[in-house]
A and B are shown apart, each in its own frame.
Chain A
Amino acid sequence: MDLTLPDDATLTRDGFVPETRSGRVLVLACGALAREILALIELNGWDHVDLHCLPALLHNRPDRIPAAVEEAVSRRGADYEQTFVAYADCGTGGLLEATCQRLGVQMIPGAHCYAFFDGLATFAAREELTAFYLTDFLARQFESVIWKPLGLDRHPELRDMYFGNYETLVYLAQTEDAELTTRARAAADRLGLAFERRYTGYGELATVLAENI
């Protein structure tokens, strides 16, 4: 497959569609997971896998995720022996799971990427009510996925209406990257939250993909 991904802004806004089909398994993923999944494909030599990403901005409109996934699976899935949906529930209230069941495709278990990066059981046991999470992608794209879509660039006075009940920004780091940590810490400062960095690596994303593709 073509292993060159577009930049993060493109992954956020448009997603990524490979120009040619080369594998027999299609992984249909959130654009926010593109780099991590590509890294796992390279690491494991999964040459039979093609990656197709939907725009990461769907993160902000979970109600639109099931239809977007269904459209992409319907359009591209027939070209492959198998399709795997690299989304967790992601705020769809079970609708994405129902869609995947209807389409006969597997997806990532759990509530969202924060949970499977941290580990589903570990994440649930933490019961971190007042934590707001960033991943590597969100640390890089904080401005375009969080700050601007919430209108905080134009109306910073809204910050506490959104984040007033949070206490800590937890950066779930997939990689050891000092610059991303600096960015995540700056995001915490802008949101008025305490900062915590937690290295997760690829967490259960690695095992779930290995089991399903």
Chain B
Amino acid sequence: MSDEEDDIILSELDDEELVQQMMDDLYDGLKEEIEEGVRILLDRGWGPYDILTKPLVGGMTIVGADFRDGILFVPEVLLAANAMKGGMFILKPLLVETGAPTIGKMVIGTVKGDIHDIGKNLVAMMMEGAGFEIVDLGINNAVESYLEAAAKEGADIIGMSALLTTTMPYMKVVIDTMKEQGIREDYIVLVGGAPLNEEFGKAIGADAYCRDAAVAVETAKTYMARKHNRPPAEA
């Protein structure tokens, strides 16, 4: 954020200062500094899950809030996401090894006819950071792509993204197909994308419209908690 930070030596900071500095560096999109900070914390015996949740997810949560409030804009969010990605690249194999808790599994993709994936990628990353297992289907997904992946992966959640007014109605095609096949209630369906709104989400029969990645994470957690709290007869 300032020239003074050029002089900061991450390895000389105590844990608390380092976490705070990493959150600042994430905010500023400094990928190399984030990677260095992750390695330092690992060397100090931090568990990968704690590193993921405290400086990385904690930092991205601030980025998300400031984006929502109009303080940060898309380029800054992308830089921060890129920095977080650098950290997650180091942590991911370690998280698998240490058996970090998994809240649920989500297949996510941009709908048929749409190649825009910035929002979808942010959601996937934040969901992963929050402890969800993510199967990213990429862009331009037909209904079969969603439903086959959801069945194959035993997913809890199907996430659909669209940037175009012309492609967002395809989400209803997917949900209607799920109803026809009698599998609608087997999955939590979350939708998002710039032209969508809450009314649209309700109108097409999604469980929830998520206006940004942070909301997607919280919504997914809430629905997973409800799912787990269902009596056996309903589950």
Contact = CB atoms under 8 A, between A and B. Distances in A.
Interface string A87-129: 0010111110000000000000001100000000000100101
Interface stretch (A14-22, A23-31, A148-156): A148-156
Contacts of A111: 164-166
A112 B116 CA distance: 17
Contact of A92 (B78, B163, B166, B195): B195
Interface of B: 73-76, 78-79, 82, 113-118, 139-140, 163-166, 168, 194-197, 200
Given A161-B118, A165-B116, A95 B197 contact: yes
A158 interface: yes
Nearest to B70: A61
A93 to B, nearest CB: 3
B75 A154 contact: yes
Nearest to A90: B165
A66 B82 CA distance: 32
Nearest to A123: B166
B125 to A, nearest CB: 12
A161 B78 contact: yes
Contact of A91 (B74, B75, B79, B195): B195
Nearest to B29: A155
Q: Which secondary structure characterizes the binding site on chain B?
A: loop
Given A92-B195, A165-B139, A158 B200 contact: no
Contacts, number: 60
B78 A93 contact: no
9 residue pairs, one from A and one from B, having the closest CB atoms: A151-B75, A93-B195, A165-B115, A89-B165, A111-B166, A91-B195, A111-B165, A158-B78, A93-B165
A91 B116 CA distance: 13
Contacts of B118: 161-162
A74 interface: no
A10 interface: no
Interface of A: 62-63, 89, 91-95, 111-112, 124, 127, 129-130, 149-152, 154-155, 158, 161-162, 165-166
A91 B115 contact: no
A182 to B, nearest CB: 27
Given A93-B194, A111-B165, A165-B116, 8 more contacts: A92-B165, A92-B195, A93-B197, A124-B166, A151-B78, A155-B75, A161-B78, A161-B118
B164 to A, nearest CB: 7
Given A92-B165, A94-B200, A155-B75, A62 B195 contact: yes
B113 A165 contact: no
A129 B113 contact: yes
B204 to A, nearest CB: 12
A158 B79 contact: yes
B194 A62 contact: yes
22 contacts: A62-B195, A91-B163, A91-B165, A92-B195, A93-B165, A94-B200, A95-B197, A111-B164, A124-B166, A129-B115, A149-B73, A150-B74, A151-B74, A151-B78, A152-B75, A154-B75, A158-B75, A158-B79, A161-B78, A161-B118, A165-B116, A165-B117
